[in-house]
Each structure stands twice: as structure tokens, then as C-alpha cells.
Structure 1
Amino acid sequence: MSVAASVDRTSSGKEHFEVLDGLRGSAAFLIVIFHFFNYAFGFHGPWALVKHAYLAVDFFFALSGFVVGYAYDDRWQKMTTLQFFRIRLIRLHPLVLLGATLGLLFYLFDPFGKGMNHTPPMTLLLTYILSMLLLPSLPTGGRQNETQALNGPAWSLMQEYLGNIAYALILRRLRTAALAIIVLVTGAALFWVANDKGSLDGGWGYTEIWMAPLRLTASFVMGLLLYRIHDRVRLPKIGLLLLSIVLVIAFQMPVFEKAGGLSMNGLYDAGCVLLLFPLIILCGAHSNAGAGMINLCKFSGRISYPLYITHIGWVYLLTNYSSAYHPSVAFRVGWILVLLPTVTLAAWFALKFYDEPIRAWLTRRYGIKRAALQ
């Protein structure tokens, strides 16, 4: 089979960027590894792997800007803003509801978190309702300062929604030069914050909630800009495997010390977001998966969102057990190796038997063409 024959297309005839789909899955799996190993080992020691994988969120934001621009920039003569919002809600919100519900169940029935998970019933109910609406949570016992107390990773989905709103109302109307100016301004701010704070790991908690819109804007607009210019740039065609290895290496780098008053760790984070990730996205956009990898890319892309939004309850469970009983390194690593395929399988079930059927029903219910949901 030729490479050309392996190209995947949407029902509207648009070509899928299959390598970018695969990279979304690679980044999601790496952040799951980050959560398991770092939470279980207290973010310290040699088993706190992929210490920079919190940057996967910035990578997701950039991918989202690229893909949203590709999918919708040429549709606005035939699509209203309300239709766009409906399409995006159908694509994203069913799993938001599932993630909030799973978060509540893990919170209530975690046998190792009973000493911490103390929240008045009405407060917990309001927190659950706010979580389903992707609004910041009320203070919740056992979840220190997290804006999404029941499902921590959902903080980035709230930002994703804001990015989509900004795209529909403002960004899609801007010229490429205006997008470039926004990237320059927010990129400079990101470098300053990274140097001042020492990393870009922020935005998920109340103490640094202001970092969330900055990280979103810099990366989402960068992704939209990359889509606008990607046809003018020629970069090597590098497949999913090599680009995923680059992500692994970037995330596994050590935490760097300060040098001469500069935070080398923070500047490294900013360099990844503003230099490395755009190069990876452009290389991925110009690459074909090939006949042997296209199914892996498609599966990786499909599983990425349910994996990201449903895994954290298992992380809390293992973390609370580790805090309560201080098990050996071998015990913790062994359970992580069991839980990684478990959360992946659970995400697949969520995709096949919940998310995809509900999205298909909503699509039929509201008369949205399937092509519009790609």
C-alpha cells in the first residue's frame, strides 16, 4: 500500500493530520505517567518521572488552536456562531460530565482518603454542579487549592472553552499579522513569568489561577498562527514515533538550577512551549503516518481526551494509599504498572460506550452534519 493510500480523511473530504492525532495521544499518556509517578512519589526522587510533562497542557492548547483553525476557518459563511458553540459542546462536554461524576465517586468512596475528604454535603453537591459546568470549585477537603477539585485536569478544559469562545468571537476575524503580534506579546509575558516563577506549572490552582489564561492564549493563538502559515513552511517529514520520542526526552529533562539570576528551569519550560512545540506541530502537520502507523495514530487521537479527563481518580487513590501507608518503591511502581493499562481500558470503554454514542445521538438530535464535528 502506498503512503498516499493511507491518508485518512473526514467525511467532508478534509485530510486528517493523523500524526498530530497520534501526538495528542502520546502527550495524554505522558501526562498520565506524570500524574501517577509524581503524585505517588511526592514529586521527588528518581521515580518522579517526566517532571516537565505538565507542559503537555500547553501542547494540547497549541494543537487545539491548529486543529480548530483547520476545521473551521473556511466555514463561517455557512455556519453561525451558535452552531459552532453547539458543535464544540457536543464534542467536549459529555466527557466533562463523566469526569465530574467519576471524580465525585472517587471522592466519596476512596477508602484511603477518609481522613482528608471531609466536605459538608451541600458544599460537595455545589462543587459537583460547578464541576459539571466547568466552573471553579468551592473549597473542598483533600483537594488543596485546585480549581477543579473533583477532576483536577478539567481546569485545562475550562481554558479550552475560553479559547473556543475567543476564536469564534474574535480570533477567527484577525489577520495573520495580528495573531503574530498576540503571540509575541504573550510569549514575552510567558518568558517573564517562567523566569520569575521557575516553571510554567501553574494555573490549575487558585493561588496562580492567573497563569491559566496566559498559558492558554500563548499556545492556542500560536497553534492558530501555525495553521495559517503551515503551508508556507517546509520542515522534515518526521513520523509519530520520532516526534513522540522528542516529547518524552523534553518532558524527562531534569529540573534545572538557577544560573546568574536566571531560572534555567523556567526558561527551559518557556523554550519548549514557544520554540520546540511549534516545531513538533509543524513537522507533524507535514508528515504522513504511513500504512503501518495510521491505525495507531487514529486510536491514539481518539483515546487521548477520554484518557486525560477520566484518569485522575485512580491517581488520587494511589496517592492517598501511599500517604497513609508509605509502601515500598517496588509496591508503588508495581501498582502504577497495573493502573496504566487499567485507566487506558477504562478510557476506551468511556469512548466506545458513552462518549461516541452520546455524541452521535446529539448530532442526530440537533441536525448537525457529521462532517462538522470532525
Structure 2
Amino acid sequence: MQNIVFNDTKKHYEILDGLRGVAALLVILMHVFEVFANGDHSKLIINHGYLAVDFFFMLSGFVIAHAYDDRWNKMTLKGFFKRRLIRLHPLILVGTTIGALLFYFQKSSMFPNIAGTGPGMFLLTIIAGYLMLPMPVSMDIRGWTETYPLDGPAWSLFFEYLANILYAIIIRRFSTKVLAVLVFIAAIILLQFALTSPTGDLVGGWALNEEQLRIGFTRLLFPFLAGLLLSRIIKIKKIAYGFLFSSLMLIVVLAMPRISANGPLWQNGLYEALSIILVFPLIVYIGACGTIKNATAKRFCSFLGDISYPLYITHYPLIYLSTAWVTNHKVPLSEAFPLCILIVFIAIGIAYLSLKYYDIPVRRWLSDRYMKTRK
């Protein structure tokens, strides 16, 4: 993403930008085809695509530590929070607005609460979405118990905000040794949960109840803390073809079919835990150390990085719409496949337009208006 807050002389990790885009595209593909699994996790296409969220958390920790760890002698908490709000919040407004515009067109047996949602509750949900206030299960207007029923993926942004707050107030003060201990503890918690998960996976985190909050924090803590730690201890060694190797590894992890679909649930949980604990840090390391010499490859990584966040946070209202249509018309995948691909391209188009004509200009204006210093 184009940096409009800092005139930064630090190393820019182009490959990590590209990896973020690859992960976002895999999330979109998983969501588009998810309706055809009929709630059976073992039948998901891009079966482990939801682990992209955990990968995003790790990238976030890495990039935040790289960007801010050495700035606290000249940056206030207020300054940090303003920078993060300017970076993240404008597109949340776009995702919520698109979700609101399409909401009443998504009526389906999949979304039982839509038909009974009145204008007052609808307006309240829009305002809550704009302000990133999570909705309790009792106020769900869709029927999926989402904290942000107009734009489901915003749940991970809620945890991203919490991570930023914890980092700025507490975690940044920890020594590398203390951070390493916390990473180890978080890894044990993640492994234990994955091995005992009643669904055999780490899916969840989007509802405001005890069970889902536990899942959300479990998915957040290890990757975010590990990203922070990796940024502190990494020693850059040039790796040729870094983007090729790291992106292929990421695709394999996220697209891997369900492990032992008809066997013990813990086997798939172990796969997911080890992917996050061992493979994701390796992918980030290769991405951080990788070099890109080809100008076309650099532009490609830059494009993927630029579009990744707008794509992730604006695509899901289209998924609600397509899910309702497939459900209402009982369309099989063989017939709906062209529509699914069309939705992917429409989502990319919306993301690009949101980025170019809204996000970049708005963030530039906000930075000029509220960030008096660019150091």
C-alpha cells in the first residue's frame, strides 16, 4: 500500500505485499464456493482458506514492529492510533456501506433474520459497523451471529484493532526475551485448542459470545506476537525467487484438502496449528528475505499489496448476495461456476475503484489534515 503517512526510508517488503494479496484472493475464492459445501467444512474448496486471517495477523505483527518499534521516542500514543485509524478505517466505511445497500436483496433461508429486520435496527447496525462496535448475538439481523452482519470479515479487523491497542500500550515495552516467552505460551494455547476443537479446525471468531471470543483471541495472539518477534530477530539474507517460493507455500497451505476428512478431528487441527506455528513464520521469513529484480514482478507484487485490504474488506456483501441466489434457486456448482468467477472479478473491480478513487485520496487528506508531522 502506498505510504501516505510517513516519508519512510526503511526497507519496504515488496514480497510481503504480494503475499498479502495472494492470501486475499484465496479468501475470496473460498468464500465464493463456500455455499456449495452446505456447511460441511470437509467439502470446502480452498479448504483451509480461512487460515489466511491468521496469516494476516502474522503479517500485521511483523509490519507494525518494523514500522513503529523504533519510533516511540518521537511518536505519541495518540499519533500511533491516528496513523492506524487513517490506515484501516476508511475502507471499513466502504465495506459497511456496500453491505447496507445490498442487505435487503439477500433474503434467503440462509439468512432468516433479514425479512424481519426493521429500519431502526438496520440503521443501528449500520452505525455500529461504521464505528466498529460489535453487535451482540441478540441483535443479529442476518442469522449468522456475526458481530458485523453487514460485512462479516470486519470481525478480524475488530481483533486487529485490539492487537494494535495492546501493542501500543503494553506489548511494545516487552523485551525480546519476554516476547519470546509469550509467543511460546500462545503457541501452546493454539496447539491445545486446535487438537481439541469440536470441529477439528480453527474456524470462528466472529460472534460476541464466550466460545467465539476464545477462538478469536486464540487465532490472534500467536500469529500477531510471532510476527512482532520475527521482525525483531530476523537477519536478512537474500533469497532468490522469494516470491515464487513463499507464494507457492502459502497457496499449498491454504488450498490443502481437509486432512483425514473421515478420520479423527485432531489430525486436521494439528495440520492447521503446525501451519500457523511453523510454516507461516517460514513463509514470512522467505518473503522478507526474498529479492525481486524484475520490474514487472515488482509491479505485480505492488498491485497485489495495494488491492489486498480493499478486496478483503469489501467483497463479502457480494458473497451474501450470491449465497442467497444459489440457495433460493438451488443452483449446483456446475451451473453457478461462471457466476462465481464473475463475482471474483467484480470484487476485484470494486476493490480497485475503492482504493484509487476513495481510499488513497481520503487517507492522503486525513494525513494532511491530522498528521502535522511526517516523521
Q: Check whether TM > 0.5.
A: yes
Question: Which of the numbers 308, 311, 335 marks the counterpart of 1:304?
Answer: 308
Structure 2 match to 1:22 = 18
- Structure 1 position 252 matched with structure 2 position 255: yes
The answer for the alignment partner of 2:3 in structure 1 is: none
**Structure 1, unaligned stretches of length 5 or more?**
1-9
Q: In the TM superposition, what is the alpha-carbon distance from 1:239 to its structure 2 partner?
A: 2.3
> What aligned pairs does 1:64-75 form with structure 2 within 5 A after superposition?
64-75=60-71
**In structure 1, distance between residues paired with 2:301 and 2:28:** 18
2:190 corresponds to: 190
**C-alpha deviation, 1:115, in angstroms:** 6.3
User: Which segment drifts farther, 210-219 or 238-247?
Assistant: 238-247
Whether the 8 Å contact between 1:258 and 1:264 is mirrored in structure 2 is no
- Distance between the aligned counterparts of 1:26 and 1:236, measured in 2? 19
SS in 2 for 1:159: helix
Distance change (3 Å), C-alpha of 1:162 and 1:175: same
Q: Are the structure 2 counterparts of residues 303 and 261 from structure 1 closer, same or farther at C-alpha, using a change threshold of 3 Å?
A: closer
| Aligned counterpart, 2:130 | 132
Counterpart position of 2:371 = 367
| Cα 1:187–1:12 shift into 2, 3 Å | same
**Aligned match of 1:4:** none
CA contact (8 A) 1:124 1:140 kept: no
Output the amino acid matched with 1:201: V
| TM alignment of 1:103-122, pairs within 5 A | 103-110=99-106, 116-117=113-114, 118-122=116-120
Choose 105-114 or 85-94, whichever is displaced more: 105-114
Closer, same or farther: CA 293–350 of 1 in aligned 2, 3 Å? same
The one-character-per-residue Cα deviations of 1:344-363 (angstroms, maximum 9, x if unpaired) are 01100000111111001111
User: Residues 65 and 164 from structure 1, CA distance in 2 versus in 1: closer, same or farther, beyond 3 angstroms?
Assistant: same
Of residues 44, 49, 52, the one that matches 2:48 is 52
TM-score between the two structures when normalised by the length of structure 1: 0.91
> What is the correspondence of 1:1-374 to structure 2 with a 5 Å cutoff?
11-44=7-40, 48-110=44-106, 116-117=113-114, 118-138=116-136, 139-197=139-197, 198-206=200-208, 207-231=211-235, 236-257=239-260, 263-291=266-294, 292-369=296-373
Amino acid at match of 1:320: A
Q: Is the 8 A contact 2:190 2:218 kept in 1?
A: yes
CA shift in 2, pair 1:108/1:194, >3 Å: same
What is the total number of aligned residue pairs between the two structures?
361
Query: 254-263 or 129-138, which moves further after superposition?
Result: 254-263
Separation in structure 2 between the aligned mates of residue 71 and residue 171 of structure 1, nearest angstrom: 15
| Superposition deviation, residue 367 in structure 1 | 3.2
Return the letter of the residue paired with 2:221: T
Secondary structure, in 3 states, of the residue corresponding to 2:328?
Answer: helix
Give the letter for the 2:35 counterpart: Y
CA displacement at 1:121 relative to structure 2: 2.1
Amino acid at match of 1:55: L
C-alpha separation in 1, matches of 2:262 and 2:112: 42
Q: 2:48, 2:254 within 8 Å by CA — same for their partners in 1?
A: yes
- TM-score if structure 2 supplies the norm length? 0.90
Task: Please report the RMSD computed on the Cα atoms of aligned residues, expressed in angstroms.
Answer: 2.2
Quick one: distance in 2 between partners of 1:259 and 1:310? 35
- AA at the equivalent of 2:284: I
Greater alpha carbon shift after TM alignment, 47-56 vs 187-196: 47-56
* Partner deviation per Cα, 1:44-65 (whole Å, 9 max, x = no partner): 5997311111000000000000
How far did 1:318 drift?
Answer: 0.8
The 1:327/1:258 distance shift into structure 2, 3 A limit, reads closer
The one-character-per-residue Cα deviations of 1:153-204 (angstroms, maximum 9, x if unpaired) are 0000011111111111111111111111111111101101111111111212
The Cα shift of 1:12 comes to 2.2
Structure 2 CA distance for partners of 1:45 and 1:367, relative to 1, 3 Å = closer
Given the superposition, is the C-alpha separation of residues 144 and 203 from structure 1 closer, same or farther in structure 2, using an over 3 Å criterion?
A: same
Shift of 1:31: 0.5
Query: Cα deviation per residue 1:259-310 (whole Å; 9 max; x = unaligned)?
Result: 9967010011100111000000001100122223110111111100000000
Structure 1 residues 260 and 234: alpha-carbon distance in aligned structure 2, compared to 1, 3 A threshold: farther
* 1:122-162 deviation per Cα after TM superposition (whole angstroms, max 9, x unaligned): 22222211111112124334331112111100000011111
Unaligned 5+ runs, structure 2: 1-5
Letter in 2 for 1:58: D
8 A Cα contact 1:243 1:280, kept in partner: yes
Deviation at 1:234, TM superposition (A): 5.0
